[in-house]
Structure 1
Amino acid sequence: MQPSPLRAAVLAVLVSVAPLPAMQAPARTPSTASTTSVPPRAVRRDIPLTNAIRKAMAAGTRDSTGRPGTRYWQLRTDYAIDVSLDPASARLTGKARITLHNSSPDALASIGLRLDPNHFLGNAPHAAPWTPAEVTDGMVISRMTVNGKAVNVAGAVVGGAEGARAIQTQQQSAAAAAAENTLLNARSTNARVRLGTPIAAGARAVLEVEWSHKLPGGPGTGHRMTQRWADSLFQPTQWYPRVAVYDDLRGWDSELYLGPSEFYNNFGSFDVNIDVPAGWIVSGTGVLQNPNDVLTAKARAQLTKVTQSDDITTIVGPEEVGPGQATATSTTGRLTWRFHADTVNDFAWATARKFVWQATRATIPGKGAVPVHMVYLPGRANLYAKAGPVTRHALEFYSKLWFPYQFPQLTLQDGPSSGMEYPMVINSNVGAADHETGHMWWPMVVGNNETWYGWMDEGFNQYMNILSDADAEGKPPVLDGEGQKYGGISGNEAEPPMMWNANYAGPQYYGFTTYSKTPLMLSALGGIVGDSAVQRAHREWATTWMFKHPSPWDYMFFMNKALGRDLGWFWYSWLFTTESVDHRIAKVTPMGIRTRVLVAHDGQMPAPVVLDVTFAPAGAAIRPMKNAVMLNATTARVTVPVEVWFDGRRQHAVDLMFGSRPIESVTLDPQRRFPDRNPADNRWTRK
């Protein structure tokens, strides 16, 4: 998801070089480390384990290698959905057949359901500043069965004739089935079906649901809060009853849908039939299965050209509107578009009366050409003029950086939510095309829990966007300076740690903690092990967890192994605290052929001591020194491992033994990779 304009403004302030007044560094307290034998603080070096990860490790589903455990499992859910759109009432009416494969070792006494349209009920909780565009009647479930046995859904319907009919039908069905199964919390985004007969471990169950809901329109704030423009363009998202994730960490995912935080879904297949008025173009997750039924001969012919070149091919032009021009004709006035997608974790779509449809291609390493479709309103063509090439670059670049793009196509969809992602679909124009395309790697393949740990989704994406932007400009990426920025933010009371549940991270710092802090963290990690090593290890982790559900512990443990470092101290400081390094050059003392640099560490986050030493342009030969490399003829970089801080000391003396050549300056953290409240005291210059 692309940050909203409000969130983007907040992020711009938070990551600016000049900190806000409330974030100004406090006056330094003189260190007493040199006068006492008791260390003033201990450096925590392990990775904290919660009850959830301890339970999973004990069960053998996760372990300290960071790879899936020998007993790892996850549910699979397969969907067959028929849905119909009535533009006049803005209402979807659907029925779904969901096959739940219980791969867990547990007998499931209930089925968790995600009913996100209930977010638009007038009394539904939501996070500021996400404001629904319209109050609706939420998701109205009129019928439900599990393995053919009725579910009591009487509490799920609303008033009026429709509600009365649904209640009467359900009462009759429930009486026949002795009300064995019951739908609970039907008016919440987090509902549950209590089962009379549990689903045995290794068994499967078939859940059938009939429902309807109105797609909200109007001036909502935040992504997904508006899903239509009047009665001519619809952008349904989170539009069907979804079976929640049941995992080895917490069982059923019980988080409410509050707005900003996103999703945690099962992988499975989707066969979706979408019924709309003839003449309306439909796009969505998956591959169109019946082009002969819904497309004109001209459109079908144009589609065959898409993967033959990088040119933009027009499938349906702005002047082609209505049945017989934009689509095939229909004797009933309606057409059904059939889509299939395999091994995806969601399904989104869009439809409009006057979509322009264009396409180009991206060439994926080891895979070949895949189509990149764009559907948009004619008056918004300027927003899509460069969207194809930008998306092509993103698909090709990220395929080389991580692993090849896994899906058969990608579609950009116009609409009110212009910065959101789903499998094979991005609701975006050129503005967020690179960012949203990045989400095809996480969470669409590497299925992170975005609701709890948004930094593993948005944060990883923000980091790789830096790399992609630089590559698109033909320049090397600049990660120097990123890590240091956090020093001006650390200590703000509104900031939660990154391991805090992102669903409750607060309106101001959801954006920073979820989006912006991860690039700063990975910049710092690159300052320790090198950026290429970070990206190599991350690539190996991502490939290992394709189409699975990694936790933060899996990431931390895997990165430790892949980098060959015990980085518990690093992960603890960055993910579990809001501390900073806050180091400085306290004193430089020339001592003949030796120069002693006293580095003070006033923060709680440890970091290596990295010094750039600049010598006079002429003089005696510069002698080689342990832990030092020459960057050029007059500059050496000295690195002292982070372990010097582990015993609790606050100061460390670095003796520079380069000979008698005069030293002109010493710079601490020259690449500006480590968070520092006051970078001005990181440089010493000979008077």
Structure 2
Amino acid sequence: MIKFLAILIMAFTGHLSFGQSRYNPSELFPALPLLPPGNEYRTATGEPGPAYWQNQSDYVIDVSLDDKQNLIKGTATITYTNNSPEALSSLWLQLEQNVYRKDSKGILTGLFLYKDPDKQVADGGFEIESIKLAGNNAADITYHTYDTRMELKLSEPLKSGQKLTFSIQYRYHFPVNYKNADFQVNRTDLMPSKNGGIYAVAQWYPRMCVLDDVEGWNTLPYLGNGEFYLDFGNFNVNITLPSSYIVEASGDLLNPEEVLTPAQLKRWQSAKESSEPVFIRSAKEVTKASSRPVAPMCTWKFKMDNTRDFAWTASKSFIWEALSFNLNNGKRVMGCSLYPVESQKRNSWMRSSEYIKFTLQHFSEKWFTYPFNKAVNVASNLDGMEYPGMVFCSARDTGNMYWAVVNHELGHTWFPMTVGSNERKYAWMDEGFNLFIDNIATRAFNKGEFIGYAEIDVPVTNLFADTLRPILSRPDAMPGNQVYTVEYQKVAYLLTLLRNHILGPDRFDNAFRRYIRDWAYKHPTPWDFFRSINSSAGEDLTWFWKSMFLENFKLDQSIAKVDNSTKNRPLITIENMEKAAMPLIVEITYASGSKEQRTFPVEIWEYTHSYTFAANKKDAISKVVIDPKQVYPDINKVNNVYELKK
């Protein structure tokens, strides 16, 4: 009798209160394509087309460092190859050091703010001494400077297929932020240390702007958040400075016998074959004059091919260690770490070699083989900044954060140093993609010893706050407090969601590897990425790209009704209350105590905001839970649970 009454009490239609749905299926499942049509340059399948082109910029740079005045003086000889189908009457270059001028757009817009606005500081930026054509006709080239951009006016158009070589003689004083961190943003820096300052030398030469088939000349000013978009080319760099300095750089060192002591040369050669770290200069030797050549000056010569940029470092204070290891294809790579004695800690820079080796081997095997012959990790004032073959990481980080920053900065080798996206417009294709692969690497490293960026992670629901800008926003138009949340965390979260719960790891990984392979050393746009994944996975993911990347749509799946009154199987109605859609997972508990889990594809939302389905058993339902493991980013968990009131 008691059991019979209980069944009678449970056998009723359960109605839940809910508001009006904001969901519009036609926004996510349009008949017309969301993405622009493919063309001969960029195909509809997300690959470079048969007529795809990009220009090449090759550099020969002779530069010197005056450490008394903190003055960089150089001559950059640039050979520019016009592979575009059109003749060019002008060339455009980037002059990022000009952001340190008092009237720069970066300072006036507030991104390169002085921390103390009343402080009087020296005006910075490039001083261009001359620009001349190379060769016998070494005539001057007319140029105009506009903030961080420079236009060269050509006397004759540079025709398709032609090359032009010209030299720029320039100088600049190192930015003032090395003294008291006067600027809020610093990507080129001088850090004090006990045994001498550490120069992080980046954005240090005039660099060609990219001319592409999408936007023509990419001449957005350098303001701060938007980083870099660069041609690929070959570099030969000669760096002259007092011989008391140790120098490392992006490329391969060509003249070790001229810049190292005999003892250091033997160690350097040994490190190229050693799987264990070799100290080319140890902590005990840092203050010894014998650890450097006796000549007053040294010229360090480096070479790097098929790369988009070049950076270098110099300091009297460096401990220098190196090792070598094989990658997945048998290629042997050298890993170098340079840091001051203050950073020689067991939970910090003493593990640099270990982190370099793991990161390069893991990413090479998982995604795409590391493209350079060397990876250099430098302790600096910078929280973390990446360049081809060289990264600057914080000299002060320890433990989890030190692992995270080294892994992340080296991860930028793949995005954007290999896959050369436009960071100035699409930072998420650089930072977010990188954080996504970093998170996979972190779980794999040393049985999960570290947990990534947990110190600054936020709950998933915070990634969909109303105030956030869409992912597809220009970086410099992104509020500073949203940059990490949107461009890093949200993108990494969404790619993980797509990988683990929508496509599956094997399917996604194959598509992601295909995208990297197709666009290595090229310039993809967001449309190329979306089309590439769609094509490789065989799925139209318009609903995903639209709601999650182009818009800041939210997900709210709600239990609208549980009907136990039917004579057959109970009916359950789920509604999409917000503008995003995702697949549906529902866990059902019957009055008998048994459970079942039902999974439905995203296509159930193609024409309606409401979906009704029948349970598998002719048994009253006591509980329904949407997404019990919280796989999807539902912002309102309150309406995800129905329980029968007895």
TM-score (norm 2): 0.87
1:639 aligns with 2:599: yes
Give per-residue Cα distances to partners, 1:500-559, cap 9 Å, x unaligned.
Answer: 222222222222221111022223323222233222211111111111111111110110
In the TM superposition, what are the counterparts of 1:300-319 in structure 2 within 5 Å?
300-319=265-284
Of 436, 444, 457, the residue aligned with 1:471 is 444
Give per-residue Cα distances to partners, 1:460-479, cap 9 Å, x unaligned.
Answer: 11111111111114259999
Of 50, 55, 73, the residue aligned with 1:75 is 55
Cα separation, 1, equivalents of 2:484 and 2:183: 15
Of 411, 421, 428, the residue aligned with 2:386 is 421
5+ residue gaps, structure 1, are: 1-27, 34-38, 151-172, 619-633
Counterpart residue identity of residue 645, structure 1: W
Counterpart residue identity of residue 669, structure 1: D
Confirm or deny: 8 A CA contact 2:279 2:320 kept in the other structure. yes
Cα separation, 1, equivalents of 2:21 and 2:111: 46
Cα separation, 1, equivalents of 2:21 and 2:415: 47
Counterpart residue identity of residue 192, structure 1: E
Cα separation, 2, equivalents of 1:240 and 1:473: 40
> Does the residue aligned with 2:201 lie in a helix, a strand or coil?
coil
In the TM superposition, what are the counterparts of 1:131-530 in structure 2 within 5 Å?
131=113, 135-147=122-134, 181-185=141-145, 188-216=147-175, 217-218=178-179, 219-225=181-187, 227-229=189-191, 232-321=197-286, 325-330=290-295, 333-382=296-345, 383-429=348-394, 430-431=402-403, 432-474=405-447, 486-493=460-467, 495-526=468-499, 527-530=501-504
The Cα shift of 1:45 comes to 2.8
Counterpart residue identity of residue 158, structure 2: I
Change (3 A) 1:478 1:371: closer
Cα separation, 1, equivalents of 2:489 and 2:587: 28
> Does the residue aligned with 2:105 lie in a helix, a strand or coil?
coil
Cα separation, 2, equivalents of 1:556 and 1:525: 12
The Cα shift of 1:390 comes to 1.7
Counterpart residue identity of residue 282, structure 2: G
The Cα shift of 1:148 comes to 5.2
Cα separation, 2, equivalents of 1:300 and 1:132: 43
Give per-residue Cα distances to partners, 1:255-286, cap 9 Å, x unaligned.
Answer: 11111221111111110000010121001100
Counterpart residue identity of residue 539, structure 2: R
Of 65, 69, 81, the residue aligned with 1:85 is 65
Cα separation, 2, equivalents of 1:461 and 1:364: 20
Change (3 A) 1:671 1:562: farther
The Cα shift of 1:299 comes to 1.1
The Cα shift of 1:117 comes to 0.7
The Cα shift of 1:317 comes to 1.3
Counterpart residue identity of residue 86, structure 1: D
Change (3 A) 1:366 1:510: same
Cα separation, 2, equivalents of 1:585 and 1:190: 56
> Does the residue aligned with 2:344 lie in a helix, a strand or coil?
helix
> Does the residue aligned with 1:119 lie in a helix, a strand or coil?
helix
Give per-residue Cα distances to partners, 1:172-221, cap 9 Å, x unaligned.
Answer: x9xxx5x7x421125x1122112221110110111210000011123145
Confirm or deny: 8 A CA contact 1:132 1:226 kept in the other structure. no
1:116 aligns with 2:96: yes
Cα separation, 1, equivalents of 2:233 and 2:517: 19
Change (3 A) 1:129 1:592: farther
Change (3 A) 1:71 1:402: same
Confirm or deny: 8 A CA contact 1:43 1:606 kept in the other structure. no
The Cα shift of 1:324 comes to 6.0
The Cα shift of 1:604 comes to 0.7
Counterpart residue identity of residue 343, structure 1: N
Aligned equivalent of 1:31: 20
Cα separation, 2, equivalents of 1:283 and 1:425: 9
Give per-residue Cα distances to partners, 1:14-36, cap 9 Å, x unaligned.
Answer: xxxxxxxxxxxxxx963389xxx
Change (3 A) 1:92 1:650: same
> Does the residue aligned with 2:283 lie in a helix, a strand or coil?
coil
Cα separation, 1, equivalents of 2:86 and 2:239: 35
Of 577, 582, 589, the residue aligned with 1:602 is 577
Aligned equivalent of 1:42: 26
Confirm or deny: 8 A CA contact 1:374 1:413 kept in the other structure. yes
Confirm or deny: 8 A CA contact 1:362 1:395 kept in the other structure. no
> Does the residue aligned with 1:342 lie in a helix, a strand or coil?
strand
TM-score (norm 1): 0.82
Q: Percent identity?
A: 28
Give per-residue Cα distances to partners, 1:50-71, cap 9 Å, x unaligned.
Answer: 8xx66xx44x111211000110
Counterpart residue identity of residue 370, structure 1: V
The Cα shift of 1:116 comes to 0.6
Change (3 A) 1:418 1:520: closer
1:679 aligns with 2:641: no
> Does the residue aligned with 2:417 lie in a helix, a strand or coil?
coil
Change (3 A) 1:387 1:323: closer
5+ residue gaps, structure 2, are: 1-16, 116-120, 395-401
1:97 aligns with 2:77: yes
Question: Is 469-478 or 554-563 further displaced after alignment?
Answer: 469-478
Counterpart residue identity of residue 202, structure 2: T
Cα separation, 2, equivalents of 1:680 and 1:530: 28
Cα separation, 2, equivalents of 1:602 and 1:149: 72
The Cα shift of 1:49 comes to 6.3
Cα separation, 1, equivalents of 2:174 and 2:449: 44
Cα separation, 1, equivalents of 2:271 and 2:157: 49
The Cα shift of 1:138 comes to 0.8
Confirm or deny: 8 A CA contact 2:586 2:598 kept in the other structure. yes
Counterpart residue identity of residue 280, structure 2: I
> Does the residue aligned with 2:353 lie in a helix, a strand or coil?
helix
Change (3 A) 1:337 1:579: same
Counterpart residue identity of residue 142, structure 1: E
The Cα shift of 1:318 comes to 2.1
Change (3 A) 1:220 1:372: farther
Change (3 A) 1:337 1:112: same
Cα separation, 1, equivalents of 2:74 and 2:33: 45
Aligned equivalent of 1:3: none
Counterpart residue identity of residue 143, structure 1: S
Confirm or deny: 8 A CA contact 1:484 1:676 kept in the other structure. no
Cα separation, 1, equivalents of 2:446 and 2:250: 30
1:536 aligns with 2:496: no
The alignment of Structure 1 onto Structure 2 pairs a total of residues equal to 600
Give per-residue Cα distances to partners, 1:431-477, cap 9 Å, x unaligned.
Answer: 41000111011101010111111111100111111111111142599
Change (3 A) 1:489 1:404: closer
Change (3 A) 1:464 1:658: farther
Aligned equivalent of 2:10: none
Cα separation, 2, equivalents of 1:285 and 1:427: 11
Cα separation, 1, equivalents of 2:76 and 2:356: 33
Cα separation, 1, equivalents of 2:361 and 2:330: 11
Confirm or deny: 8 A CA contact 2:56 2:232 kept in the other structure. yes
